[in-house]
Structures are given as structure tokens and as C-alpha cells.
Amino acid sequence: MVDTNKPGLSIPSQCRLLNIKRSSFYYRSKSFRNKDLELMRLIDEQYLKTPHLGISLDEKPSTPTQNQQAGSKA
């Protein structure tokens, strides 16, 4: 892709020709610590087992009362 050793063509010019942003060329992804990766894996595993735990069971969806029609402002 971008050749940093190309004397006649600057990096910005090469990025323009390739239709990529310079920030994409210079970007270096951050690596995660193993401890963080393990924690993320555990959270994902728990969520896949019990996705309903993120919802409060005490709250019921609001439904219109007898005196109130759906869509009306009260």
C-alpha cells in the first residue's frame, strides 16, 4: 500500500491516490492487557447465558388505562 521509502511521492500524496485518510495510515491500535481481555470474555459469556438480567423485572411496560386511548396525550 503506502511505501514510506518512495522518494518522489509523499505519504499524503500516496494516501490521496489510494483514497485513504492519513490518520488511517498512522493509526496504531491499542492492545489490551490479558486481564482486561479475560474480563471482557467473562462479561460476554454471562450476557449470552442470561441476556434478560439487564432488564428490571419490577417495571412493566406502560399500557393505556381504560380512560386513556393509545396515542392520546393525558
Question: Domain extents for the chain?
Answer: 11-51
What is the Cα–Cα distance from 74 to 64, expressed in whole angstroms? 10
CA 70 to chain centre: 35
Residue 66, pLDDT score? 64
Note the pLDDT tens digit of each residue in 25-67: 888 888 999 999 999 999 999 999 998 887 665 666 666 666 6
Q: Running DSSP on this structure, what letter comes out for residue 40?
A: H
Q: Using 50, 70 and 90 to split pLDDT, how confident is the model at 3?
A: confident
pTM beyond 0.85, yes or no: no
